[in-house]
């Protein structure tokens, strides 16, 4: 297959090249995101390989199909950026890389919690200036505190194991219970109960209709005063404006996010010489009790290797006409609904 690899960064090429070595597939690395504007770059390819910031809406997918593209290979787990119903209608197979390293994301999530709680990032900056005062750096013990985990799949379970190791109590919410969490002593409950019980709320559910702005004004008002809120799932699970209000009044004691609902045109690039037009992110960055990172929770050597090799296996399967275990199945009803729109 000829594959156009969109949103390529140096590290993508570094890991994908050896994985596809000797595969017979041809990879062409392109730095732009795949959008309606960059579509012409996909002409002449059998497949596109994309990441979280590429936008595969109905129009883009229809044009890809007309250009002869028959495979979308996501090099990530989440697929909220692909209109699956439209892909199915236009005969395009969509494959992904599920659970490439839940450890990478779970470990980073706990890193955010620790850094925020003990203000490690601020302390390190102080010491560089020979300021050894401790005022303002006071944290709390995790031991004995309650952690609320929303979404207890691969990553949520990883976070649960680590926080259990710290001696935390666990409460959880998911559409299905994970026996591993129950074995750790986690109590499954409603979102409202989880918000009321938790000192730390951490989000590990996918972004779907039901989880869009799950963290709203109403949800925040149900949380403990001074709660720590962590999001390494997808930005729009949080209503950012509501969270800013929660931070301003102190209801939210600290916020750690690796994802942001308007990240699409910001993340994965150096904008340090640009004037920001994003007032919401600019406001977030003014809070001393907010830590923002640029969607890097997945970014370990182990994860990138797994992504590259799973993508190779996915492409091999589709090219050979085999059933790919990582093909995303489409809800037929949704497909019919999308086709009628
Ligand atoms: P997973 O599929 O293993 O787990 C997701 C869990 O969420 C499942 O248990 C599912 O039942 C649950 N869920 C679905 N709908 C829900 C709802 N309405 N309410 C509560 N729970 C619900 O996925 P995972 O590998 O653990 O990844 C979780 C999310 O993390 C992904 O969807 C992705 O968006 C995000 N992610 C982020 C990064 C990063 O670098 N920041 C990297 C990988 C994944």
By most ligand atoms within 8 Å of CB, the mutation choice from 107, 111, 206, 296 for ligand 1 is: 206
Rounded-to-10 torsion of CA 190, 196, 201, 206: 20
Q: Which residues pair with 27 in a beta bridge?
A: 3
pLDDT digits (tens, 9 = 90+) for 209-267: 999 999 999 999 999 999 999 999 999 999 999 999 999 999 999 999 999 999 988 99
- pLDDT over 70 for what percent of the chain? 97
State residue 31's pLDDT score: 96
Average pLDDT over residues 272-283: 96
State the pTM of this model: 0.92
pLDDT digits (tens, 9 = 90+) for 19-69: 999 999 999 999 999 999 999 999 999 999 999 999 999 999 999 999 999
Please tell me the distance from the alpha carbon of residue 282 to that of residue 229, in angstroms, as a whole number: 19
* E strand intervals along the chain: 2-5, 26-29, 47-50, 71-74, 93-95, 146-150, 169-173, 187-188, 200-203, 227-231, 252-257, 290-292
pLDDT digits (tens, 9 = 90+) for 133-192: 999 999 999 999 999 999 999 999 999 999 999 999 999 999 999 999 999 999 999 999
Q: How far is the CA of 207 from the centre of ligand 1 (A)?
A: 8
Is residue 79 within 6 Å of ligand 1 at its C-beta?
no
The closest alpha carbon to 67, from 37, 96, 47, 95, belongs to 47
The neighbour count for residue 198, using CB atoms within 10 Å, is 24
By most ligand atoms within 8 Å of CB, the mutation choice from 9, 155, 237, 329 for ligand 1 is: 155
- Average pLDDT in the chain: 95
State residue 28's pLDDT score: 98
Please tell me the distance from the alpha carbon of residue 5 to that of residue 315, in angstroms, as a whole number: 12
Is residue 97 within 6 Å of ligand 1 at its C-beta?
no
- All structural domains of the chain, each given as residue ranges with its CATH number in brackets, are 2-100+301-340 (3.40.50.720), 102-292 (3.40.50.720)
Catalytic residue among 75, 234, 312, 326: 234
340 SS3 class = helix
Catalytic residue among 154, 295, 312, 326: 295
CB 109 within 8 A of CB 161: no
The closest alpha carbon to 291, from 121, 118, 106, belongs to 121
- pLDDT over 90 for what percent of the chain? 94
């Amino acid at each position: 297959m000829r594959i156009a690899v969109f949103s390529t960064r140096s590290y993508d090429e570094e890991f994908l090249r050896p994985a596809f070595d000797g595969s017979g597939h041809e990879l062409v690395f392109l730095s732009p995101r795949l959008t309606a504007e960059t579509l012409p770059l996909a002409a002449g390819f059998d497949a596109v390989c994309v990441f979280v910031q590429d936008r595969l809406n109905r129009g883009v997918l229809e044009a890809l199909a007309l250009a002869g593209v028959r495979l979308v290979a996501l090099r990530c787990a989440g697929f909220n950026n692909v209109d699956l119903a439209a892909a199915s209608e236009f005969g395009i197979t969509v494959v992904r890389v599920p659970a490439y390293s839940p450890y990478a994301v779970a470990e980073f999530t706990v890193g955010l919690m620790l850094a925020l709680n003990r203000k490690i990032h601020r302390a390190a900056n102080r010491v560089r200036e020979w300021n050894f005062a401790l005022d303002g750096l006071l944290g709390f013990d995790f031991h004995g505190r309650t952690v609320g985990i929303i979404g207890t799949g691969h990553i949520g379970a990883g976070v649960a194991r680590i926080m259990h190791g710290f001696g935390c109590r666990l409460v959880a919410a998911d559409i299905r219970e994970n026996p591993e969490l129950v074995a750790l002593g986690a109590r499954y409950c409603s979102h409202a109960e989880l918000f009321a019980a938790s000192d730390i709320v951490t989000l590990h559910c996918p972004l779907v209709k039901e989880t869009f702005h799950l963290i709203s004004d109403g949800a925040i008002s149900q949380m403990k005063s001074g709660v720590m809120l962590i999001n390494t799932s997808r930005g729009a699970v949080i209503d950012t404006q509501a969270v800013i209000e929660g931070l301003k009044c102190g209801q939210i004691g600290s916020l750690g996010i690796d994802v942001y609902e308007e990240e699409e045109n910001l993340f994965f690039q150096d904008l340090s010489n640009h004037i920001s037009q994003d007032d919401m992110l600019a406001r977030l960055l003014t809070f001393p009790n907010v830590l923002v990172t640029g969607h890097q929770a997945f970014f370990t050597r182990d994860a990138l290797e797994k992504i590259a090799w799973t993508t190779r296996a996915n492409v091999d399967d589709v090219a050979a006409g085999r059933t790919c275990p990582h093909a995303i199945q489409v809800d037929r009803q949704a497909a019919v609904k999308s086709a009628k729109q």
